[in-house]
Structure formats: structure tokens, C-alpha cells
Chains A and B, each alone.
Chain A
Amino acid sequence: MRLTRRYPFSASHRLHSPALSDEQNREIFGKCNHPFGHGHDYVLEVSVQGQVDAHGRVAPIEALDRLVNGEIVSRYHQRNLNLDIEELAGVVPTTEVLAAKIRERLAASWPAEFPKLDRIRIFETERNIFEIA
């Protein structure tokens, strides 16, 4: 069985690569390149896969919440992704990159007794959704 928990956080970002000219940045990233950045109400979905135990549970939800809130939500919420987040320093914080970094960070602190981390999805808006297994 797969269990999914959703975690909203709000943050700002700007898509701009120092390796490209201003014109190329504008062309590639469009309005996401506007100089002062902009923000989204992101939703992070974390899915775990495992067997239901004798207590009727796949995952210890409160412990999962503590992990995701500690590693991600409390560090990302109401922050600037370009400037405030250590693991995003020097990268263009597209939501593709964000998904990979979040996956990596969660995997690194994933307790052995937790069920398998199946996938994460990030909703940048209701219409732009990124998924990584």
C-alpha cells in the first residue's frame, strides 16, 4: 500500500543562470527571470510504500511529519530559494532541481525503520507538477 502526505510551503525564487547572457536568460526562463523574483505556494507530496502492520499502519505519520517538517518545510517556508537554502546555493531553482534536491535530502536522513520512500511530487502551482521516484 502506498501512503501519501502533502506538505504546503510558500517560497520565492528567480530562474537565472550566471552562465548565460541576460538575453539568453530572458529567452529561456521568460517571466520566471524577472529580476526581483516571484513566489509560489508549493505543495510537497511524500509517498511511502509498504505493508500495513498489526496496528493498521503503513507509516508512523507523526514521525514522517517531524522528518519532512524538520528537513524541508521549516527550512523552505517563507524563504527565498536562491538565497536562503544551503542545498540550492549556486543552482537554478527550477522545480525539477528542487524535486531532486528534496529527494536527496530526505533519502539521506531517512530512518531505516521507515517504509520505502516511493516518490515525491511537487506542485509549483495547481497546474505545474513535478514527480521523481
Chain B
Amino acid sequence: MLLTRKAEFSASHICRQPALSEEQNRELYGMAANPNGHGHNYVVEVTIDGAVDPLTGMVFDLKKLKDILSREVVEPFDHRHLNYEVPPFDRVVPTAENVVMEIWKRLEAPLRDAGARLHNVRLFETPDLYVDYAGRE
């Protein structure tokens, strides 16, 4: 069974690569390349996969999932500037794609240690744009 927990964080970011020209950055990232940055209300949906424990009737303790998600993602990301305050985004462009992969990386081991198998991370950058990452590609 799949179990999904949702959390939100608000952060600012800039999508540009210092090695590229202004024109190339505009071409690649559009308005997201504006040099002073901008922000989003990100929504992250973390899905874990597991069997229902016959004793508790639960796949995993929701409170533990919430705590891990808060500690590993929401607290370090919320009300921060991703490029300036949240590594590795000082050197990795914080596109939704790169942010979702970083969230996967931060969650996988702590969840595994707690006995949960991470299945998918969905990150909404806006209500109209989201990415799904399952640990591959």
C-alpha cells in the first residue's frame, strides 16, 4: 500500500548558471533567471510503500513520517533562499528537478533507518507545475 504525506515550505531561488551568458540563461530558464531571485510556496508529497502491519493497521507511523519530513526538508528549506542558504544549491541550479532529487537524497536514508521504503517524491513548484521522482533517472 502507498501512503502519502504532504508538507509545504516557502523559499526563494534563482535559476541561472554563472558560466553562461545572460542570453543563454534567459533562453534556458526564462523569468526564473531574474538575478535577484523570486519565491514559491512549494508543496512536497512524500509517498512510502509498505505492507499494512496486522497488529497496528498501519503502513508506517504518520507522526514519524511527519517528523522526518520536517527535520530533513521543511526546517532547512522553509523561509530560506535556496541558492544562498541550502547546499548544494550554491553550486547546483535549484530547478524543481534538482530540488526534488535533493529531497529524495535527504529522505531516503532516514526513512530506511526508521523502517520505511521511499516510493516517490512529488514536488509542486507552483500549483501548475510539478515533478515526480522515484529515485531513478
Partners in one complex: yes
Residues of A within 8 A of B (CB): 1-8, 50-52, 55-58, 60-62
Contact-residue size bin, chain B (C-beta under 8 Å from the other chain): 20 to 34
The answer on a CB contact under 8 Å between A1 and B93 is: no
B82 located at the interface, meaning its Cβ lies under 8 Å from any Cβ of chain A in the complex: no
> In the complex, what distance in Å separates the CA atom of A52 from the CA atom of B133?
11
With most chain A CB atoms within 10 A of its CB, the pick from B92, B127, B129 is B129
Residues of B within 8 A of A (CB): 15, 17, 28-30, 92-98, 100-101, 127-133, 137
Closest 9 CB pairs of A and B: A56-B95, A6-B128, A56-B93, A56-B98, A2-B132, A52-B97, A3-B131, A62-B30, A51-B137
Closest to B131 in A: A3
- Residues A4 and B129 in contact in the complex (CB < 8 Å), given A55-B28, A55-B93, A56-B92: yes
Instruction: Give A121 Cβ to nearest chain B Cβ, in Å.
Output: 12
The answer on a CB contact under 8 Å between A57 and B28 is: yes
The answer on a CB contact under 8 Å between B132 and A1 is: yes
The answer on a CB contact under 8 Å between A61 and B128 is: no
Question: Which chain B residues lie closer than 8 Å to A4 at the CB level?
Answer: 129-132
> Which one, B94, B101, B128, B132, contacts A52 given CB within 8 A?
B101
Dominant secondary structure of chain B at its interface with chain A: mixed
With most chain A CB atoms within 10 A of its CB, the pick from B92, B97, B128, B132 is B97
> In the complex, what distance in Å separates the CA atom of A56 from the CA atom of B25?
12
Closest to A52 in B: B97
The answer on a CB contact under 8 Å between A1 and B97 is: yes
Closest to B95 in A: A56
Q: List 10 A-B contacts (CB under 8 A).
A: A1-B101, A1-B133, A2-B133, A5-B129, A6-B129, A50-B137, A56-B93, A56-B94, A56-B97, A56-B98
> Which one, B17, B30, B97, B128, contacts A7 given CB within 8 A?
B128
> Which one, A1, A2, A60, A61, contacts B129 given CB within 8 A?
A61
The answer on a CB contact under 8 Å between A5 and B128 is: yes
The answer on a CB contact under 8 Å between A52 and B137 is: yes
Question: Which chain A residues lie closer than 8 Å to B94 at the CB level?
Answer: 56
Instruction: Give A88 Cβ to nearest chain B Cβ, in Å.
Output: 24
Question: Which chain A residues lie closer than 8 Å to B96 at the CB level?
Answer: 3
Question: Which chain B residues lie closer than 8 Å to A52 at the CB level?
Answer: 97-98, 101, 137
